[in-house]
Amino acid sequence: MHSFQTFVTNYGYAAIFILAMLESMCIPVPSEIIFIFGGASCTAAVAHLHPLGLGWVIVVGVLGELTGAIIAYTVGRTLGRTIVDRWGKWILLTHKDLDKAEAWFAKYGPYSIVVGRVIPIIRSVISVPAGLAEMGRVRFIALTAVGSAIWVSLLSVLGYFAGHNWEKYHKFFNTVQYPVIAIAVVVLAYAFWHRYQAVKKQNAV
């Protein structure tokens, strides 16, 4: 935690942008620390000499999130079919699955992207399946911007009002997340197991 805090303290907006971008590229960077501390750094009690601007923390954070999400989306969209051709049997995916995913995102995309951007774990990886499913690029970017703005603003404003007590709020927020993370892990594990059984049954025919 302190390494992220030091990075933001030393490099300000640039650090916030880079960390937000990495998190949206499926790299496990804790956005709660980035934005809660970023918001707290907008107060003299934490920043001391050169407080950041809350508005700029939010804008830069959203841009970082959006940049990383676009990169992850592009990788999924560009390499998705190739990955399925080469390693589909190992990762339990077929072109038929991608077609189904495309239809699902076409129907439920707005909800999955916006809501997914505020759910732990899901928020970091949602861009890749959206790319794999070839969701419309403009639509994806717009929805990601909305979801990211909600998440970044919530955490940054919380940090701003917490001030020098930001770590207490971060610990509380982190604790509240654990049940959500546990549920997400269980759901993903079940989905993988169910998919494995389906592929195994299909290959046995």
Tens-binned pLDDT, residue by residue, of the chain (205 aa) = 567 788 888 888 999 999 999 999 888 788 888 898 888 888 876 666 678 899 999 999 999 999 999 999 998 888 877 776 666 566 556 666 666 667 777 777 778 888 888 877 778 888 888 888 888 899 999 999 999 999 999 999 988 888 777 776 666 666 666 666 666 677 667 666 766 666 566 555 5
pTM for the predicted model, two decimal places: 0.77
Residue 81: both structure tokens together: 């079919």
Confidence at residue 144, expressed as pLDDT on a 0 to 100 scale: 93
- pLDDT at site 181: 63
Closest CA to 143 of 103, 109, 107, 118: 109
CA distance linking residue 76 with residue 105, whole number of Å = 14
Query: pLDDT value at position 63?
Result: 97
Asked whether the beta carbons of 162 and 169 are under 8 A apart, the reply is yes
φ, ψ for residue 8 (rounded to 5)? -65, -40
In degrees, to the nearest 5, what angle opens at C-alpha 172 toward C-alphas 167 and 177? 120
**CA–CA separation, 48 vs 29, rounded Å?**
26
The pLDDT assigned to 27 comes to 85
Identify which of 183, 184, 162 has the alpha carbon closest to the alpha carbon of residue 171. Answer: 162
pLDDT of residue 147: 92
